[in-house]
């Protein structure tokens, strides 16, 4: 992981050195606003020269004004003050990080619109933007800038104590996001099912109870759908159950389930080679669940949570399953495997059944890089949301707007159900050319019973999504903040 800036919060005071960051609302940079960091009053003129209007995320940079204790002043626009969302404050933090680079001492000056919660969000945005995955960049090239270490960001705000307390939570969430990014960025030779499971096992340090099911355990449980996918790989599958008991003992848990295909070649229905390297990220759902468990445990969420991830590698091999094979899932339902590349739903089928039967959760949400078709439908800015419960769908949509990890509801229904009926078995694992994301969701629905459930198809958002203010990494960590927000808003309220 990247070297993260040290964050602190302080009451407003005069600064002595380093880079100063000033926030300015729309049209609000006035004479004297720079105070003692701008004794000669250059900022207003500099803003004019830069045609700075204080619009959201607009910015400019001034070098060492005469008589200032700051070496550099950066002004960042925050737009209309009555319109600011949490996602905006995160973005301002990200813009701030991009502007200051590796400058060792950075102070963000107070602003009336920035209370304790906003200050903490800003710090979170700064951190998330600071993330980069350089683990395998070992040999510096001539001309490379040496990464400076030990950046310190101080955020000045009136209620510094409250900001610090909030950061205690937000820091945990940021670390959860970065854990998910690390897992997605890691190549598949390093991170197979066993290695992923042992990384998840490390969550016990935070008080998460982690149980790892082996192939033998899964055979006993009758998980024929998951095991059929795994049988083409020399690397054995794993299922990891993570439990966080932060609620009352009698409270039914909520559950999150993730697709963890550590590499998806397609199996015997092999994928074309161009771009196949991206399939190291086919465990983005499992990464999000693991990152979420980290986040919830780190901030000691007052709720009982189960996280389950199904970990397999989908390979073509002499022992791999064939198109036409019929497998029996843990639920007892049989599946004709028409296409071995539609493997994620096979893994999830058994993970969902296991979760529902064993833990009887009040609600289940699964995350999966499930279909290429979801990107055709929605592009890479929204995850596809499928649900059997309108309240849950609305709550997820609201959490998406609040965090900027947006979802868009897609349909399920009897028409799609018919498309996956099979000639030989209870169902087949693909539904034909049209509505590929919908038939995949419909398949999953056959394994959730009456439990309120949502499926998030994150094929477009978990990896290789366009860089933004708070993420420049290939693996985005999508889903961790979204679900953390949902838990806080709905299940801890």
- Just list the catalytic residues: 271, 345
What is the DSSP track for 286-335? HHHHHHHHHHHHHTT-SSEEEEEEEEEEE---TTS--TTEEEE-TTS-EE
DSSP-derived letter for residue 174 is H
> Beta strand 209-213 with 238-245: parallel, antiparallel or unpaired?
antiparallel
Q: How far is the CB of 327 from Mn ion (least distance, A)?
A: 16
Distances (CA, A) of 359 to 223, 250, 347, 364: 17, 13, 18, 10
The CB-nearest residue to Zn ion is 264
Helices (H), strands (E): how many in the chain? 14, 17
CB of 391 to ligand BES, least distance (A): 29
- Please choose, from the candidates 350, 386, 88, the residue with its C-alpha nearest in 3D space to the C-alpha of residue 241: 350
Q: Calculate the alpha carbon distances from 386 to 152, 159, 450 in Å.
A: 43, 41, 15
Of the two residues 86 and 329, which places its CB atom closer to ligand BES in the complex?
329
Residue 272, burial from CB neighbour count under 10 angstroms (0-12, 13-18, 19+)? exposed
Q: By C-beta, is 55 or 271 nearer to Zn ion?
A: 271
Residue nearest to ligand BES (CB): 372
From 42-50, 238-246, 338-346, 441-449, span contacting ligand BES (CB under 6 A): 338-346
| Segment interacting with Mn ion, rule: CB under 5 A, options 110-118, 342-350, 457-465, 470-478 | 342-350
Span from 42-50, 220-228, 334-342, 467-475 in contact with ligand BES (CB under 6 A):
334-342
Residues 6+ apart with CB under 8 A from 287: 179, 180, 181, 183, 184, 258, 260, 462, 475, 477
- For residues 328 to 367, the per-residue mask of contacts with Zn ion, x marking binding by CB under 5 A and - elsewhere, is ----------------x-----------------------
Calpha distance 476→329 (Å, rounded): 32
39 binds, among ligand BES, Zn ion, Mn ion, none (CB under 5 to 8 A by kind): none
Partner from ligand BES, Mn ion, Zn ion, none binding residue 284, C-beta < 5-8 Å depending on class: none
State the Cα–Cα distance between residues 455 and 451, nearest whole angstrom: 12
Q: CA-CA distances (angstroms) from residue 32 to 29, 42, 44, 64, 160? A: 9, 9, 8, 16, 24
Question: Judged by CB under 6 A, does residue 430 bind ligand BES?
Answer: yes
Is 341 near Mn ion (CB under 5 A)?
yes
Least distance from C-beta 118 to Zn ion, angstroms?
39
Shortest Å distance, C-beta 463 to Mn ion: 14
CB of 376 to ligand BES, least distance (A): 9
Supply the minimum distance, in Å, between the C-beta of residue 259 and Zn ion.
Answer: 7
- Closer residue to Mn ion (CB): 19 or 463: 463
Contact with ligand BES (CB under 6 A) among 5, 258, 436, 479? 436
Instruction: Report 274-303 residues binding ligand BES (CB under 6 A).
Output: 282
Residue 280 Cβ vs Zn ion, minimum distance, rounded to whole Å: 11
Which one of 38, 170, 182, 264 is in contact with Zn ion (CB under 5 A)?
Answer: 264
d(CA 189, CA 277): 11
Q: How far is the CB of 306 from ligand BES (least distance, A)?
A: 24
What the block records as the tokens of 419 is: 């498309």
Compute the distance between CA of residue 225 and CA of residue 16 in angstroms, rounded to an integer.
63
Work out how close the CB of 270 gets to ligand BES at its nearest, in angstroms, rounded to a whole number. Answer: 10
What gap in Å lies between CA 362 and CA 342, rounded to an integer?
28
CB-based burial label for 45 (10 Å; 0-12, 13-18, 19+) = exposed
Type and span of the H or E element at 53: none
Please tell me whether residue 343 binds ligand BES under the rule CB under 6 A. yes
Count of residues touching Mn ion (by CB under 5 A)? 3
Q: Contact region for ligand BES (CB under 6 A) — 68-76, 134-142, 371-379, 408-416?
A: 371-379
Identify the residue among 88, 118, 169, 282 touching Zn ion (CB under 5 A).
282
In the chain, what are the helix, strand and coil shares in percent, each to the nearest 5?
Answer: 35, 20, 40
Does position 264 interact with Mn ion (CB under 5 A)? The reply is yes
Window 372-411: contact mask with ligand BES (x via CB under 6 A): xx--------------------------------------
344, 400, 452, 475: which one binds ligand BES (CB under 6 A): 344
C-alpha neighbours within 13 Å on the C-beta side of residue 438: 19
Residue whose CB is less far from ligand BES, 254 or 419 = 419
Query: Interface with Mn ion by CB under 5 A: which range of 20-28, 141-149, 333-341, 429-437?
Result: 333-341
Tally of CA atoms within 13 A in the half-sphere of 277 that contains its CB: 7
406 alpha carbon, distance to own chain's centre: 11
Given 120, 371, 403, 471, the residue binding ligand BES (CB under 6 A): 371
Element (H, E) at 95: helix 86-100
Indicate the Cα dihedral angle 11, 13, 17, 22, nearest 10°.
80
Nearer to ligand BES, 111 or 181 (CB): 181
Q: List interacting residues with Zn ion (CB under 5 A).
A: 261, 264, 282, 344
Binding site for Mn ion (CB under 5 A): 264, 341, 343
Q: Which residues bind ligand BES (CB under 6 A)?
A: 264, 282, 339, 341-344, 369-373, 430, 436, 459
């Amino acid at each position: 992981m990247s070297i993260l800036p040290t964050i602190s919060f302080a009451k407003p005071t005069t600064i002595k050195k380093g880079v100063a960051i000033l926030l300015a609302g729309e049209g609000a940079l006035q004479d004297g606003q720079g105070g003692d960091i701008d004794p000669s009053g250059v900022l207003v003129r500099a803003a004019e020269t830069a045609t700075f209007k204080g619009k959201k995320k607009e910015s400019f940079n001034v070098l060492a004004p005469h008589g200032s204790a700051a070496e550099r002043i950066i002004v960042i626009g925050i737009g209309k003050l009555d319109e600011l969302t949490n996602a905006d404050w995160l973005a301002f933090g990200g813009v701030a990080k991009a502007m200051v680079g590796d400058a060792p001492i950075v102070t963000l000056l107070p602003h009336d619109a920035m209370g304790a919660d906003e200050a903490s969000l800003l710090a979170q945005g700064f951190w998330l933007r600071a993330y980069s995955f350089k683990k395998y960049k070992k040999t510096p090239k001539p001309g490379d800038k040496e990464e400076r270490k030990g950046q310190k960001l101080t955020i000045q705000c009136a209620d510094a104590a409250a900001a610090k307390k909030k950061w205690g939570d937000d820091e945990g969430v940021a670390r959860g996001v970065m854990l998910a990014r690390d897992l997605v960025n890691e190549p598949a030779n390093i991170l197979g099912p066993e290695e992923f499971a042992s990384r998840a096992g490390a969550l016990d340090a935070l008080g998460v109870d982690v149980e790892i099911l082996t192939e033998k355990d899964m055979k006993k449980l009758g998980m024929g759908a998951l095991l059929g996918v795994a049988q083409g790989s020399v690397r054995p599958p794993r299922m990891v159950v993570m439990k966080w008991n932060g609620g009352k003992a009698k409270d039914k848990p909520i559950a999150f389930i993730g697709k963890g295909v550590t590499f998806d070649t397609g199996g015997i229905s092999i994928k074309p080679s161009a771009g196949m390297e991206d399939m190291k990220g086919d465990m983005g759902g499992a990464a999000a669940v693991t990152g979420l468990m980290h986040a919830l445990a780190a901030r000691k969420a007052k709720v009982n949570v189960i996280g389950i991830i199904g970990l397999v590698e989908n390979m073509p091999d002499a022992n791999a399953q064939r198109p036409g094979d019929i497998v029996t899932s843990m639920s007892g339902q049989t599946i004709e495997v028409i296409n071995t590349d539609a493997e994620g739903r096979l893994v999830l089928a058994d993970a969902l059944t296991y979760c529902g039967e064993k833990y009887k959760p009040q609600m289940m949400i699964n995350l999966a890089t499930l279909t290429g078709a979801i990107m055709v439908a929605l592009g890479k800015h929204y995850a596809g949301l499928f649900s059997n419960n309108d309240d849950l769908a609305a709550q997820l949509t609201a959490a998406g707007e609040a965090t900027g990890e947006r979802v868009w509801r897609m349909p399920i229904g009897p028409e799609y159900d018919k498309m996956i009926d099979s000639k030989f078995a209870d169902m087949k694992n693909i539904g034909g050319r049209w509505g590929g994301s919908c038939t995949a969701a419909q398949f999953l629905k056959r394994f959730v019973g009456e439990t309120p459930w949502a499926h998030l198809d994150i094929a477009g958002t978990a990896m290789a999504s366009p860089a933004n203010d708070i993420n420049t990494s290939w693996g985005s960590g999508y889903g961790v903040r979204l679900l953390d927000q949902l838990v806080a808003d709905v299940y801890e309220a």
